[in-house]
Structure 1
Amino acid sequence: MKRRTFVRNTSLFGASLFSLPPLMTLSNCKPEVPLKSLLKKQALLSFWRFTEVWNFKDFWKRGNTFDACLVFVDALQNQWPDDSDVIEIQKEVEKMLKENLEFFHSYDPGKLWADDFGWWGLMALNARKHLLKIGNIELANAYLKLSTDLCWEYKKKTAYDNSDEGFPVLHGCRNGDANGESKGVKNTVTNVLLFLLSSRIYRCLSEEDIANGDKYLDMAYRQWLWFDEWSNLKDYEYLKKLTTEGVLVQERPMAFVEGSTYIEKIHPPWAEGWIWSGDQGMLVASLIDILAIADDLDDYLKRTNIYPDFDTGTFKSKINNLIKKLAKGIQNGLIANSDGIIREAPCYSSFGPEHGRDYLAGRGIMVRYLVQDEIKKHLNIDMTDNISKTFEAIWNTRDIATNQFKPEFTTAENDKLYIEQFRQLWGLADDVYEWNLDKMKEKNKFGVCQSIGLDVLGATIRSLNEN
């Protein structure tokens, strides 16, 4: 089906979908075929709307939203590999990737921030996978080069703290600018991006039998040590326990003690108890990545004599235990008991006017990682029904005329119940119900909101084969 033909019919078709009974969840839908058919139609409408709003000028958001698109299209291709509509989407994505590379190179990299490079580096690796599938090797190689030679190198050279001045934890990654004019803070998102980017580049190179992966393995391990040391410092509750079961990682490690280098409350404004959903998913993904390469890590540490006493068994056990604790924290803390929908933690620092536009995408990012096959098998939770209910809410609150998804897709009544649920589990919560996006351009907002829907819809589609 040609794009123009399809777009002409979206409004009428979208209205017909909206008039159907509420979306059937994966757990109660029988027979299977009608659900697959419905999801495919929703996927087509959602994607073509994304093509209308993705081309906005906001660097990190554009990198992240396109990563959501790539993972979503991969789910479509896995489910309907020979479908003509899906093949048409793959071709459209190829065109978009060419434009995206031009967009990246239009920026002065010195003016970008450390986390910008993380988002684009991860997107570039998924772009490579997509392009290799469709046979565009030249563009695939260009995206690998972007990930390794530009994104990773900038984070290593300008953001990673090689000094011995960090207290109570050495090293880690600062969210400063590439020119070095602002050092920035060592928040969670910047550090988990370097952790995940390092491990994913290493795995990409290993799987393709490309040499020179040691430096990425080394950095992945360094970042693990930074997170591990913080988790061992119980007094600071960087990994904070819920009152029931599980832990969640806070958005920034803070230590208000004499000599501490972790006391900065700005860039962006910090508040006690602040957590972000995106951090949770990316940290779990990073841990599972380094678990997958534990044997390679063992060989590297002993071969280089960096840590000759490294014990693989102890390492794997510790990682597995932490993964399960985080998974339980996500299940208990970021899913509402009232409606089963995945939520953002009620923290004003995420929702507020200063940086609400930056943290809006977190729910989609978390789901994007947690539903990957390799990750799901390590978790002690099943979010299949919650993901289905979340997409149902996203779909049923969309703008019917355009199939544009919205920032809020839950009811105020259930939001109030969730805030109280979170407060009892976490000890702190803000009474926030809506994202303050006054400082966000409309097209940027549309692109980010559509990417959240693509993340959750892609996860729903991936779950089809499990039922």
Structure 2
Amino acid sequence: MVAGRQGGKGFSIYWQLGHSFDTILDYFVHVDGSQAAAFPPIALEAYKRSLGNACWYDDYGWWGIAALKAAQHPGLFPDVSPFKAICDTCWATMHDNAPNVWANNKGDPAFAPLQPRVEGGVWNCDWSRPDGCGNRNTPPNLPGHCGGNAQGANLTGIQNTVTNGLYLVLASRLYEATGEADYRTAADREYGFLDAWFDVPDPETSLLRPMGVPIPGRENDVLVRERVATYRSGDWVCGYHPDLCWSGDQGIVVGGMIDRMIVDPGDNKPDSPAFRRAAAILQSVQYVTDQNAGGILQPWTTGQGGDPADYSTGVGVFMRYLLYADQRNAQMRTYTRSTAYRKLIEANVKSVVNAPIPDGLVPLTNSLAILVAGIVMLKA
């Protein structure tokens, strides 16, 4: 996600429409499916209308995940085949390109400083695209360079958390749905990449930001940083800020860890790395939200990034994946149904119910995600 994709209050932005569709599907599945059968033409028109705005590889992850969810509910929709086709197209676009950016450029000595520190991840964009997504006529993201464009280029052609997290989620869920080995290979490769970055021992460069929570037993609480920190050379990745953690990334990575425990049942136990990381992230989000925002979830859990038109989505993304963790892993309910999380969800539901109906796709989606989570998770 990057700056420069605003317009029409979100109703023409490709990835935001996919993100919103994902939340609408949760409403149909968990709350009320009575109007679901009439919704496919709306979703398909939005997909086709906005497809020309797709630019970054994470864009396809949002729609791929949502379309897969729609395709898995034939009882809601008269014909799910268009959604299966969208999912397949989005996966092919993401999988055929995002993991190969370094491989496509490593023969050019100008890009040598950008060799990744860890093999196996994905990039949000190519480094030499002619359409403005990645091309700056000079190698982007060279240390101290940022492609010559301080606003946009620091998001160009890097291994950010959102793209890697969405890729893990989509690969894992496609494997769960089909059992096909290629999806499992992709999911394993991506999980290995994230696992390596999570285990970087230096607290300033690990993908996990230690929280230092002063509560006994919570010393290992962490949040996920917005992007990887360094190249293999040790130089900083352009735009890396060690304190910057987006709420959406917290939800996506929690979802990826839940999916990992489904893909590999051996990881579905409280002492597995996937379980421990999901639990630590959930606890940290609750703690910083309570401490810093009076229980009202914010788009940035720590730090303050730019582009609120895009990153304000973090509230809805996190709430959707919080619900997913709660519904897909009974053991995780120790955290998702805790007294602390009940208070957090109640506070956010009240903030929506007591406020005027918002204007714009992003705030509407945030409100719906909060309300759906509240309806499902506040039940006795």
Give TM-score scaled by structure 2 length: 0.77
Does structure 1 retain, via aligned residues, the 8 Å contact 2:269–2:275? no
Among 328, 337, 347, the residue aligned to 1:374 = 328
Match of 1:119 in 2: 62
Going from structure 1 to structure 2, the CA distance change for 1:59 and 1:313 (only over 3 Å counts) comes to closer
In structure 2, the partner of 1:431 is none
Q: Per-residue deviation at 1:376?
A: 5.9
Show structure 2 runs of 5+ residues with no match: 1-7, 107-113, 135-155
Contact kept? 1:72, 1:457, Cα under 8 Å: no
Shift of 1:315: 11
The answer (yes or no) to whether the contact 1:71–1:126 under 8 Å persists in 2 is no
Name the % identity: 24
2:371 matches 1:463: no
Change in CA separation of 1:330 and 1:380 when aligned onto 2, cut-off 3 Å: farther
Equivalent position SS for 2:52: coil
Deviation at 1:249? 0.6
Whether 1:387 and 2:353 are equivalent positions in the alignment is no
**Match of residue 452 from structure 1:** 366
Q: Determine if contact 2:115/2:233 at 8 Å carries over to the other structure.
A: no
Which residue of structure 1 aligns with residue 225 of structure 2? 250
SS of residue paired to 2:328: helix
Shift of 1:260: 3.8
CA contact (8 A) 1:336 1:342 kept: no
Partner residue of 2:25?
A: 70
Whether 1:264 and 2:263 are equivalent positions in the alignment is no
Cα-to-partner distance string for 1:343-384 (whole Å, 9 max, x where unaligned): 33365643x3xx211100101111111123114632542223
The aligned residue for residue 237 of structure 1 is 206
Distance 2:298 2:329 in 1: 20
SS in 2 for 1:377: helix
The 1:177/1:61 distance shift into structure 2, 3 A limit, reads farther
Counterpart check, 1:357 vs 2:332: no
Distance 1:199 1:258 in 2: 27
Which digits, 9 at most, give the CA deviation of each residue in 1:16-61, with x for residues without a partner?
xxxxxxxxxxxxxxxxxxxxxxxxxxxxxxxxxxxxx998211111
Q: Which has the higher contact order (CA 8 A, sep 6+)?
A: 1
Superposed displacement of residue 233, structure 1:
0.9
Q: 1:375 to 1:357 in 2, by over 3 A?
A: farther
Kindly state the Cα deviation for residue 271 of structure 1 after the two structures are TM-superposed. Answer: 3.2
Distance 1:262 1:147, change over 3 A: farther
Cα distance in 2 between the residues matched to 1:312 and 1:56: 39
Match of 1:397 in 2: 355
Opposite residue 396 of structure 1, the aligned amino acid is: N
Q: How many residues align?
A: 325
Alignment of 1:115-194 (within 5 A): 115-130=58-73, 132-137=74-79, 140-148=80-88, 150-161=89-100, 163=103, 166-176=115-125, 180-181=129-130, 182=134, 184-194=157-167
Show structure 1 runs of 5+ residues with no match: 1-52, 78-85, 207-212, 296-310, 399-403, 406-444
Alignment deviations for residues 373-409 of structure 1 (CA, whole Å, 9 cap, x no partner): 11463254222331122011122122xxxxx22xxxx
CA RMSD of aligned residues (A): 2.9
2:42 to 67, 79, 96: 96
Q: CA deviation at 1:166?
A: 3.6
Name the counterpart of 2:148: none
Summarize the alignment of residues 245-324 of structure 1 with structure 2, pairs less than 5 Å apart: 245=218, 246-255=221-230, 259-260=233-234, 263-265=237-239, 270-295=240-265, 317-324=272-279
Partner AA of 1:69 in structure 2 = I
Q: Judge conservation of contact 2:262–2:268 (CA < 8 Å) in 1.
A: no
8 Å CA contact retained: 2:243, 2:303: no
In the aligned structure 2, how far is the partner of 1:336 from the partner of 1:375?
Answer: 27
Mapped partners of 2:301, 2:282: distance in 1? 19
**Larger-gyration structure (1/2):** 1
What is the DSSP-based 3-state SS (H/G/I as helix, E as strand, rest coil) of the residue aligned with 1:371? helix
What is the CA distance between 1:178 and its match in structure 2? 10
For residues 342 and 123 of structure 1, the distance between their equivalents in structure 2, rounded to whole angstroms, comes to 23
| Partner deviation per Cα, 1:242-292 (whole Å, 9 max, x = no partner) | 11131101001112x771475122xxxx43311001111111111111111
Deviations, residues 217-243 of structure 1 (Å, cap 9, x unaligned): 111111111111011112113211111
Conserved? CA contact 2:123–2:163, under 8 Å: yes
Map 1:411-450 → 2, pairs under 5 A? 446-450=360-364
Q: d(CA) in 2 for partners of 1:340 and 1:234?
A: 31
- Quick one: structure 1 residues 262 and 63, their matched pair in 2 at CA, closer, same or farther if it must change by over 3 Å? farther
Q: Aligned AA for 2:95?
A: K
The answer as to whether partners of 1:121 and 1:146 remain within 8 angstroms in 2 is yes
- Secondary structure at the aligned position of 2:299 is classed as coil
> Cα–Cα, structure 1 residues 262 and 221, in superposed 2: closer, same or farther, change >3 Å?
farther
SS at match of 1:323: helix
| 2:18 counterpart SS class | helix
